Amino acid sequence: MGDEGMKITITGRKVPIGESFTQRTEKKLSKLDKFFDSDAQAEVTVSQERNMKRVEITIRHNGILFRAEDAAPEANDVVDKLVDILFRQIRRNKTRLEKRLRDDAFTDNGTGMDQEAEETEFNIVRSKKFNVKPMDVEEAVLQMNLLGHQFYMFRNMHTDEINVVYCRRDGNYGLLEPNV
């Protein structure tokens, strides 16, 4: 078909990236090429976390983000696991993604993939409306902590935009804000 695979960028954050890791990662990610056109971009980031290597893979394609991350003593082991996770994410959401991925993304070429296509429903089990009070980021984090929540939505008093603060796995906080 002459179709190139997705563009892959591998970055080491205070971790040297060897040629063998690069080749292995590119080979593993090529397993996902059947889902994407060549305009897809994969970003692989490796960082040191105590005695573990944390690997994060983000794939951008047609405005959709696919993301998986995990840590293990060896970065190669993490890549294997993450590619499997991404593969399952795509398979689980097959029907919703068909319009956005390659036309032939879900044709079974003798891989037996259709047997594992068990799509899950998006069951919204609770909907809540509330007033979004203007406040600064520090007040929003305080309010989130006082409520014992993992995230908190508020109107940023400095930008007048809706923002979300959240607890990160590493114990720090994150801020989500619209790109205006």
The highest-level CATH class for domain 7-116 is: alpha beta
Query: What is the reported pLDDT for 124?
Result: 77
Q: Which CATH architecture has domain 134-176?
A: 2-Layer Sandwich (3.30)
Query: What is the reported pLDDT for 174?
Result: 95
- The dihedral through the CA atoms of 145, 70, 46, 86 has a sign that is negative
Q: Which residues of the chain have pLDDT under 50?
A: 1-2, 110-117
Local structure of residue 33 (DSSP, 8 states): G
β-bridge pairing 151-156 and 173-176 = unpaired
Query: What is the reported pLDDT for 104?
Result: 58
110-to-5, 29, 85, 95, 135 alpha-carbon distances in Å = 20, 19, 21, 20, 56
Give which of 57, 48, 50, 62 is closest to 15, Cα–Cα.
48
Domain boundaries, the chain: 7-116, 134-176
pTM over 0.85: no
